[in-house]
Chain A
Amino acid sequence: MSRADERPGLPGADFEEAAAVARLRRVSVRKVAGRLLLNAILALVCAAWTLPTLGLLVTSFRDPDMVSRSGWWSAAKDPKGLSLDNYRTVLAGQDWSYVDSSGKTVKLRGENMLGAFGNSLAVTVPSVLIPILVAAFAAYGFAWLKFPGRKMLFVGIVALLAVPLQIALIPILRDYQKAGLNGSFLGVWLAHTGFGLPLATYLFYNYISTLPRSILESAFIDGASHYTCFTRLILPLAMPALASFAIFQFLWVWNDLLVALVFLSGGGRAMEVLTQRLLALAGTRGQDWHLLTAGAFVSMLLPLAVFFGLQKHFVRGLLAGSVKG
């Protein structure tokens, strides 16, 4: 176009200009079409990723008869068939009864998901907090205390980062059987602590060792001990690293099946966590989709809440944990 501007009087300039405009328009039409296509494909991908979960959610509210008679996508035709009854059945522990629409009293056995929810909490909270505590102490020790074998030990921790936990199942199970730890919360906490510690120590060391040394020195001048310095100064400062690991470990432990199956099964049905309970439900009620979907959703509730509530930290935590074996 600039060429055409330079030679305004020459014949053909108008034509050239028009051609350039047409070319530009063609490019922009193609651009818009391309963008539309891109967004359409992206929307399709999102649908493919979301529909399975949506189907679960919708089915969990539907009437058992409806669930077996039609697909969940037709639930909108009959919004009256939606209720919380399925949740009542899966959450309840004992038999419970209700009066149905024809006035009959129906008795049902609950699936005790609520009890499993409590067990999952009892397993997860200490399995997240204990490794954080132990690893934070260790990271402080490695970063700021001098002792023989310091480097060797830390190299050992790095080597353990990718060791698969399968390696530990049989020896630890035998130790537990001897010590009476099999089927106890303590046994599962210690196992999750052991399997999570290399990652936690490694992450916290990387963070704590970069904090400025001057903070520490001024604290020592004021007469603080290493312990006070750690609990009062370093722990609060290391919060971002602790939080990242906490989210990763929370998801890991909450969603874990293998460790619970191996070390908690000895405790019987009363100690089952959500993943175990859901698995048992799938075994005994494999075709009762209304209960299975409600149970699955109960097990996903807390992780999804964390996902939506703390999305940024959630992603950061998962990325930090990706080196774990």
Chain B
Amino acid sequence: MNGNKAAKPGAPGRWIARVAPALAAPILALAALWAGFALIKEGWISGGFAPAFAAVWGVAGAALLFFVANWSVERLGPKVRARALPFVFVGPAILVMAWYLAAPTVRTLALSFFDASSRGFAGLDNYAYVFSDRTMRIAFINNLAWLVFGTGFSVLSGLVIAIMADRSRFERVAKSLVFLPMAISFVGAGVIWRFVYAYRPEGDAQVGLLNALVTAAGGAPVNWIVERPWNTLFLIVIFVWLQTGFAMVVLSAAIKGVPGELLEAARIDGASELRVVRSVLIPSILPSIVTVATTTLLLTLKVFDIVYAMTNGLYGTEVLASQQYKQMFKFLHYGRGSAIAIVILVAVTPMIWYNLRQFNKREAFS
């Protein structure tokens, strides 16, 4: 747009004057950003002000890179511009995704065939470990429990609450209260529920809600998070408490989409309300139920924070993701850690395949 034409043979000086700044600018920008990073890293800027400075530097830096890249490409003339401009726009995203997600799948797969320090080739040893070790077997069984009960209870309670709320005048309040835990972190929820499950020896005042209820009913206090195998279920309760809100909101929206005449027709035919729900309402929102179930299922496969915060995998509550973390940081075994990551990836492949199929079906991309 600056009236640039392709370089004429007789004007090398003008060509250089145009191209040199276009090449220099990105280099200068990168250098300036790196200098800012070094300032923070070396502790030249410290104290309470440092995080704020870092945040501004980061966001402004990203914006600056786009601005400079575009400015440079604009200077290089219309021919280069037409070729290069798309990559100014999509290039950074592609590079970051390639570095952080695409390449790591291949690299992790490769690492899973190597030993602890990734130097010696280990063949299938890591996979043999993953599928035969005792703790790993517990992790698999627990993850299966998470998958079945975590998903099942979340979807079921979400569905029941959505149906009940739909028929109540207090729908908004009820839905807000059930949805609220979605804002809370797994670690925060861990603290909340540790307090609910808090255990004191018999005779002491029970400060945990659950044991207070148990002792009030005449029972003996239970140390909930130590009792195997039920403790995994008590951890799953936390997940259900957090995730029911999600299932409820999606299913509630689906219920609102079911035409009222359909339900009314069944009622006029003399069907009881329970029957209406079971034979008319649920079949018509089945697709939404499946969507919610798959989404929740994916979450249970990767569950980490709750276990790590509540028991750190002790008392037989280990799951795959917590085992992976332990292999990485406690045992420093990158081979086994990678093998577990590959197992998790394989478990979610059906979802990846499904996403791709849906995308191709829509043919939104022309």
A positions within 8 Å CB-CB of B: 34-35, 38-39, 41-43, 45-46, 49-53, 55-56, 59, 67-73, 115, 118-119, 121-122, 125-126, 129-130, 133-135, 137-138, 140-142, 145-147, 150-151, 153-173, 175, 180, 184-186, 189-191, 193-195, 197-198, 201, 206, 209, 223, 225-227, 230, 251, 254-258, 261-262, 275, 278-279, 282, 289, 292-293, 295-296, 299-300, 303-304, 306-307, 311, 314-315, 318-319, 322-323, 325
Chain A residues with Cβ below 8 Å from B12 are none
Q: In the complex the two chains form, is B192's CB within 8 Å of A52's CB?
A: yes
Write out, one digit per residue, whether chain B residues 198-228 have a CB within 8 A of any chain A CB (1) or not (0): 1000000111110010000000000000000
Jot down 16 A-B pairs with beta carbons below 8 A, ordered by A: A45-B178, A121-B52, A130-B59, A134-B93, A156-B102, A164-B302, A166-B324, A167-B104, A171-B104, A225-B70, A251-B183, A258-B304, A278-B188, A278-B191, A307-B183, A322-B246
Interface SS majority for chain A:
helix
Q: Using a Cβ cutoff of 8 Å, how many contacts connect chains A and B?
A: 334
**Interface size for chain B: under 10, 10 to 19, 20 to 34, or 35 or more residues?**
35 or more
Shortest Cβ distance from A145 into chain B, in angstroms? 4
Chain B residues with Cβ below 8 Å from A195 are 100-101
Chain A residues with Cβ below 8 Å from B330 are none
Q: In the complex the two chains form, is A137's CB within 8 Å of B345's CB?
A: no
| Known contacts A59-B195, A163-B105, A172-B100: A289-B207 contact under CB 8 Å | yes
B positions within 8 Å CB-CB of A: 1, 37, 40-41, 48, 50-52, 54-55, 58-59, 62-63, 66, 70, 74, 85-90, 92-94, 96-97, 99-105, 107-108, 111, 161, 164-165, 167-170, 173-174, 176-188, 190-196, 198, 205-209, 212, 241, 244, 246, 249-250, 273, 295, 298, 301-302, 304-305, 308-309, 321, 324-325, 328-329, 334, 337-338, 340-342, 344-345, 348, 351-352, 355-356, 359, 364-365
Shortest Cβ distance from A170 into chain B, in angstroms? 5
Q: In the complex the two chains form, is B305's CB within 8 Å of A258's CB?
A: yes
Other A-B pairs, 15, CB within 8 Å; known A46-B177, A185-B40: A52-B192, A56-B192, A56-B195, A70-B207, A121-B52, A163-B105, A168-B100, A172-B104, A185-B51, A206-B364, A257-B304, A282-B190, A299-B187, A303-B183, A319-B250
Chain A residues with Cβ below 8 Å from B108 are 167-168, 170-171
User: Roughly how many angstroms separate A122 CA and B176 CA in the complex, as a whole number?
Assistant: 29
| Known contacts A55-B209, A171-B111, A299-B185: A45-B105 contact under CB 8 Å | no
